[in-house]
């Protein structure tokens, strides 16, 4: 079925002059009167409007969005339109790689496993590696081709290798995204090629970036490689931030007309690691320059936060950063009667972690920062079961509603990083 985009492009191509020539006048030189020129102008303006509404690169679709996150705690240091739906473009390939890393981790594949190239995979549009139908490609080469070259043909190869079809693989991608807490993400293909149904957010891509680093540290280095060689040709990375920014070590670029220039980047300086995501850059140069500014902001703010804290920031094994997700359903763990005074009160949530100890440390740190309004006795840890195990949500309770709202303001975290928690007597276990 011909898409609206195809239909409007064909109309524009058929009438490059802005309107059809009336029958019997082709090749003639008769001057048009005012009404004739007006008619042509109306037709031209109507076509421009229709094309602008349908085109995947329209101004409405190319939305700016960004987020900067402390990767150690999940705290959002800066956010603009972080929950606005956007087209992920080739940042999609980070999820394709996440699922390939899972296959390596659980033994379904090895780095030397060879994946078959179908006719469909070989026929994908650029950017592509140019793999031939009927050939095979090693898993490790595919990883490099996705992370560095951003090869669409290889993305389809991986999808078909892991799930049989790319359509089925996209379903798995979406399910895994939701498992990770990427609640506003839907995938329709493995590459990020244009599809109106494929949407994500800056916040969700930050979650995915941290998940890649935390769950698969043994493979993270592929995102920081500057080049790789295949078929006698060397391919260089599109990620100039990795090459030029102090401490930057990886992740992914992306571009389609509908999204503009996108980038997920991470950098580490000392004990601090920052993740930044940008959508909607006008050019790759302006996108990269903006990312540099965002990372600088991130490091300045995370340093300030650590300086305020009585103890150094912990280095938890973050499964999901609750500061990067909306409030989610409570766990099935009942609290004891001694917790009723806390769990019947209001509070704030300041992170979610894969280890109970890390959650407790962060919660206690923030409780001390809010003294005398709260203390370490105000700490409550709320567990929640996910498909990847238990996460522990760090909360400071014992407040009324106004105090909870003021606490987020006093901490200077913003509403993206500090979530006000409603009273719920069935939500938590004691921190100690």
Question: DSSP secondary structure string, 194-249?
Answer: --TT-BB-HHHHHHHHHHHHHH-TTTGGGGG--EEEETTEEEE-S-HHHHHSTTEE
Is 150 one of the catalytic residues? yes
CB 377 within 8 A of CB 344: no
Q: Provide the H-helix boundaries in 106-191.
A: 119-122, 139-144, 152-163, 166-179
Residue tagged 């850059």 (tokens) = 281
SS3 254: strand
Compute the 3-state secondary structure of the chain and give helix, strand, coil in percent, each to the nearest 5.
Answer: 40, 20, 40
* Pairs from 172-177 (Cβ < 8 Å, separation ≥ 24): 172/99, 173/92, 173/95, 173/96, 173/99, 176/95, 176/98, 176/99, 176/102, 177/95, 177/204, 177/208
Q: Binding site: residue ranges?
A: 252
Per the annotation, the verdict on 93 as an active-site residue is yes
Contact 63, 281 (CB under 8 A): no
DSSP assignment of 61-95: TS--EEEEEETTT--EEEEESTTS-B--GGGHHHH
Q: How far apart are CA 319 and CA 323, in angstroms?
A: 12
Enumerate the known binding-site residues for substrate.
252
Q: Cα separations (Å) of 139 from 97, 116, 164, 167, 208?
A: 10, 10, 16, 20, 21
Residue 346 token pair: 């209001």
Torsion of CA 301, 307, 309, 313, to 10 degrees: 70
Report the C-alpha gap between 16 and 283 in whole angstroms.
Answer: 27
Point out the catalytic residue in the list 66, 90, 127, 335.
90
Out of 93, 128, 144, 149, the active site residue is: 93
Q: How does DSSP classify residue 186?
A: B
The single residue of 127, 150, 335, 378 carrying the catalytic annotation is: 150
**DSSP code for 391:** E
Residue from 233, 203, 202, 208 nearest 223 by CA: 208
Tokens 């798995």 sit on residue? 172
Give the residue numbers annotated as catalytic, written as ranges: 90, 93, 150
């Amino acid at each position: 079925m011909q898409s609206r985009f195809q239909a409007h492009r064909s109309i524009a191509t058929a009438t490059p002059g802005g309107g059809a020539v009336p029958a019997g006048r082709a090749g003639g030189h008769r001057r048009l009167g005012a009404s004739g020129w007006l008619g042509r102008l109306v037709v031209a303006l109507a076509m421009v409007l229709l094309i602008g509404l349908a085109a995947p690169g329209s101004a409405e679709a190319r939305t700016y969005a960004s987020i900067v996150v402390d990767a150690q705690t999940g705290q959002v240091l800066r956010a603009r339109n972080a929950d606005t739906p956007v087209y992920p473009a080739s940042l999609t390939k980070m999820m394709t790689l996440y699922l390939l890393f899972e296959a390596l981790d659980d033994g379904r594949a090895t780095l030397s496993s060879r994946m078959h190239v179908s006719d469909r995979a070989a026929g994908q549009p650029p950017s592509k590696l140019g793999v031939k139908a009927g050939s095979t490609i090693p898993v490790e080469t595919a990883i490099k081709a996705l992370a560095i070259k951003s090869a669409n043909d290889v993305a389809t190869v991986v999808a078909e290798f892991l799930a049989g079809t790319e359509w089925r693989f996209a379903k798995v991608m979406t399910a895994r995204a939701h498992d990770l807490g990427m609640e506003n993400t839907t995938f329709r293909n493995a590459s990020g090629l244009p599809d109106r149904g494929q949407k994500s957010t800056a916040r969700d891509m930050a979650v995915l970036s941290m998940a890649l680093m935390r769950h698969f540290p043994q493979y993270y280095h592929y995102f920081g490689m500057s080049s790789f060689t295949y078929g006698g040709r060397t391919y260089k990375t599109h990620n100039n931030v990795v090459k030029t920014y102090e401490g930057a070590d990886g992740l992914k670029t992306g571009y389609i007309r509908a999204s503009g220039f996108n980038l997920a980047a991470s950098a580490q300086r000392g004990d601090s690691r920052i993740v930044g995501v940008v959508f909607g850059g006008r050019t790759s140069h302006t996108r990269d320059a903006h990312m540099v500014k965002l990372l600088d902001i991130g490091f300045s703010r995370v340093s300030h936060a650590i300086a305020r804290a009585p103890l150094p920031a912990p280095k938890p094994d973050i499964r999901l950063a609750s500061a990067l997700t909306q409030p989610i359903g409570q766990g099935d763990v009942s609290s004891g009667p001694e917790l009723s005074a806390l769990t019947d009160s209001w509070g704030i949530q300041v992170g979610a972690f894969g280890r109970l100890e890390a959650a407790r440390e962060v919660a206690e740190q923030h409780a001390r920062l809010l003294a005398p309004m709260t203390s370490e006795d105000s700490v409550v840890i709320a567990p929640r079961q996910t498909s990847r195990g238990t996460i522990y949500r760090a909360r400071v309770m014992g407040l009324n509603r106004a105090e909870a709202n003021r606490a987020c303001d006093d901490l200077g975290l913003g509403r993206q990083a500090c979530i006000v928690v409603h009273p719920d007597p069935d939500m938590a276990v004691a921190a100690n």
